[in-house]
């Protein structure tokens, strides 16, 4: 159902159930966030994305990344009340992570002054982690938690709350994928790579090199998990394709084309073994017309397709 939503005095369209933050971003209305990531469900932990909403004649403050719209309403993202709340939150976050560039930028943007209110609080922190929960969520959905136990989670209570491995020991479930570090908004998770090794959460992982460009792109444990997931899903994706980094996959992975290829166009063609499994790619070459009917597995799309008269598993 389509809704009429007034944001800062201007009327916009929204869908019933759509989150306020998504509506704002779609219409280029700035709302600050730290704990939000487009690839993960909303958490509402940092509270920076608060907005003021008027539904049914009464105003209230809500967290925009997890608040779904269900009726016509008025929203204010820059009211005096909202700016005041955001300044207070940023003051506390800066005390927690004083060196975070994103928080420093937001403090400058909102005119946050260092008045010393949270200086005592700052001394009690031993980490710049802001406890947004993104890292634990990424581990649960993208890392080892996708098929096994999560390697990290929030532990403790109150001022002792933190993100850690079980019992603060190196986790056997960690695959070293670094999904947690990549989504951390304040770079609180230390992850280093050197000499073919990745170090994270007190463990060292051997890195696997791309079969095409030779660059390191995953840990051995992460690669093994990818093979396990591909086998469990019975997708037909071969070990050869999984040995490619993301850049090389985008360069060489085939896509579906509804039109026959033009003679003289250039691209890569799939090599298959005797069992019709992926075995590599040819060098870039010109397309030529082939009269043949056979089934080719379209790797990127993940299903079988009957191809008649033309080879269309081509991209560059």
Dump pLDDT digits (tens) for 105-129.
999 999 998 877 777 666 666 678 9
| Domain 2-78 in this protein, CATH class | alpha beta
Question: Domain-by-domain residue ranges, the chain?
Answer: 2-78, 83-123, 134-205, 253-308
From residue 33, alpha-carbon distances to 11, 23, 88, 135, 176 in Å are: 23, 14, 14, 15, 27
Calpha distance 104→17 (Å, rounded): 33
Q: Please give the model's pTM, rounded to 2 decimal places.
A: 0.72
Q: What is the DSSP letter of 261?
A: P
Distance, in Å, from the CA atom of 296 to the CA atom of 238, rounded to the nearest integer, reads 13
pLDDT digits (tens, 9 = 90+) for 248-276: 877 765 443 334 444 444 444 444 444 44
Taking only the tens of pLDDT, the chain with its 316 residues reads 899 999 999 999 999 999 999 999 999 999 999 999 988 888 899 999 999 999 988 899 999 999 999 999 999 999 999 999 999 999 989 888 888 889 999 999 999 988 777 776 666 666 789 999 999 999 988 755 555 568 999 988 887 889 999 888 888 889 999 999 999 999 999 999 999 999 999 999 999 998 888 899 899 998 888 887 777 765 555 556 677 887 887 776 544 333 444 444 444 444 444 444 444 444 444 433 333 333 333 333 333 333 333 333 333 3
């Amino acid at each position: 159902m389509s809704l009429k939503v007034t944001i800062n005095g201007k009327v916009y369209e929204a869908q019933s159930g759509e989150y306020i933050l998504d509506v704002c971003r779609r219409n280029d209305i700035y709302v600050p966030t730290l704990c939000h990531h487009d690839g993960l469900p909303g958490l509402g932990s940092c509270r920076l994305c608060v907005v003021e909403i008027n539904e049914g004649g009464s105003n209230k403050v809500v967290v925009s990344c997890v608040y779904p719209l269900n009726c016509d309403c008025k929203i204010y993202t820059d009211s005096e009340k909202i700016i005041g709340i955001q300044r207070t939150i940023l003051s506390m976050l800066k005390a927690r992570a004083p060196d975070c560039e994103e928080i420093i930028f937001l403090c400058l943007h909102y005119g946050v002054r260092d008045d010393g209110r949270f200086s005592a609080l700052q001394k009690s922190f031993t980490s710049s982690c802001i406890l947004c929960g993104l890292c634990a969520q990424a581990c649960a959905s993208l890392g080892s938690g996708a098929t096994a136990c999560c390697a990290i989670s929030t532990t403790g209570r109150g001022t002792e709350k933190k993100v850690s491995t079980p019992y603060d020991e190196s986790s056997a479930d960690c695959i070293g994928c670094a999904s947690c570090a990549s989504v951390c908004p304040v770079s609180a998770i230390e992850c280093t790579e050197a000499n073919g090794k990745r170090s994270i959460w007190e463990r060292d992982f051997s890195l696997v090199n791309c079969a095409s460009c030779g660059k390191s792109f995953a840990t051995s444990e992460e690669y093994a998990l990818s093979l396990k997931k591909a086998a469990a899903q019975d997708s037909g994706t071969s070990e050869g394709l999984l040995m490619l980094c993301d850049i090389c996959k985008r360069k060489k992975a085939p896509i579906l084309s509804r039109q026959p290829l033009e003679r003289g166009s250039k691209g890569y063609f799939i090599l298959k073994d005797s069992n019709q499994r992926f075995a590599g790619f040819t060098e870039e070459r010109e397309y030529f017309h082939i009269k043949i009917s056979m089934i080719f597995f379209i790797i990127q799309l993940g299903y079988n397709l009957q191809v008649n008269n033309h080879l269309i598993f081509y991209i560059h």
